[in-house]
Amino acid sequence: MLFSRHASMSAMKNITVFKEKLEAEKSTLEKELSDIARFNEETGLWEAMPDQDLVGEIDDNDAADRFEDFEERSAILSTLQARLTDVNAALKKIVDDTYGICEIGGEKIEADRLEANPAARTCKEHMNA
């Protein structure tokens, strides 16, 4: 109700807010990835660092303890990488002016769903499709 009289203005303002959130999340994800992985320029993907490399790269004992084994780092890496892919896709949609459109049904994604997850690719109805 509150936004109904200024729907279009509010939508434009929201996109700026979502863009800022997405860019902030992207920085955080890349920072977390750089703790446990290195970016492969050829594949465009992050690769988990082998143990021997990690020891040399991380001075901080806390960081080393958090990611004790390679398998754990690989699992965290794939979660972060998947999230980063979604965030990048959402940022690209803002540029392409298709942000907030469900990838499956083409309808608008609910505002509260985007609030909860600015990188959402689908509306609530299609979120598990």
Q: Which residue type does 86 have? A: D
Coil, helix or strand at residue 37: strand
Using CB under 5 A as the binding rule, whether residue 121 contacts Zn ion is answered as: no
* Residue 85 CA: distances (Å) to CA of 33, 64, 91, 96: 13, 25, 10, 16
Query: Pick from 102, 114, 119, 120: which binds Zn ion (CB under 5 A)?
Result: 102
In the bound state with Zn ion, the residue whose beta carbon lies nearer, of 13 and 108, is 108
Structural contact between residues 126 and 102, judged by C-beta atoms closer than 8 angstroms:
yes
Q: How far is the CB of 113 from Zn ion (least distance, A)?
A: 10
User: What is the phi/psi pair of residue 95, to 5°?
Assistant: -65, -45
**Site residues (CB under 5 A) for Zn ion, limited to 26-45:** none
Q: How far is the CB of 122 from Zn ion (least distance, A)?
A: 5
Using CB under 5 A as the binding rule, whether residue 90 contacts Zn ion is answered as: no
Structural contact between residues 91 and 61, judged by C-beta atoms closer than 8 angstroms:
no
Q: Which of 26, 24, 15 is nearest to 88 (CA)?
A: 26
Using CB under 5 A as the binding rule, whether residue 84 contacts Zn ion is answered as: no
In the bound state with Zn ion, the residue whose beta carbon lies nearer, of 76 and 100, is 100
Using CB under 5 A as the binding rule, whether residue 21 contacts Zn ion is answered as: no
Residues in contact with Zn ion by the rule CB under 5 A: 102, 104-105, 123, 126
